[in-house]
Each structure stands twice: as C-alpha cells, then as structure tokens.
Amino acid sequence: MDSDKETSEDRRERLRQKELRHPSSSIRGSNLSDLVGGLSWKGTGIMILFLIIGFVLYSIFFR
C-alpha cells in the first residue's frame, strides 16, 4: 500500500504497532501509566499514601 493512498486510520495503526514492537523508553516501559496499570487499586492507593507520607516527613525534617 502506498503511503499516499494510506488512510489516517491505517497510518495510526501502523505507528501504534511499531511503537508496541519497539518501545522508546526501557524494556518494561517505566511510564507511570505502566506502573499503575500493573497494580491493583489497593496497590495504587498504598503507593500514593506512601508518597504523601514521605513528602510530609521530608517537609517536617528538612525545612
């Protein structure tokens, strides 16, 4: 199929497939969406809770 006759839908699908085969980041992906997508809602909530607690402790001790 020529690139001139390729529809925008076909082009998007081809680029999506190319990105899936060769991710631009690391082997696993390392995006926040990849991390959250791999966790359950409880795991995500616990991770957010730890981040908030860590920020509060940092604010208390280093300011």
* DSSP state string for 5-62: T--HHHHHHHHHHHHHHS-SS-SS---HHHHHHHS-HHHHHHHHHHHHHHHHHHHHHH
Q: pLDDT at position 6, please?
A: 81
Average pLDDT over residues 34-56: 83
Domain boundaries, the chain: 8-62
Whether the model pTM is above 0.95 = no
Say which range, 7-11, 36-40, 57-61, has the weakest mean pLDDT.
36-40
Please determine, for residue 58, whether its predicted confidence score (pLDDT) is greater than 70.
yes
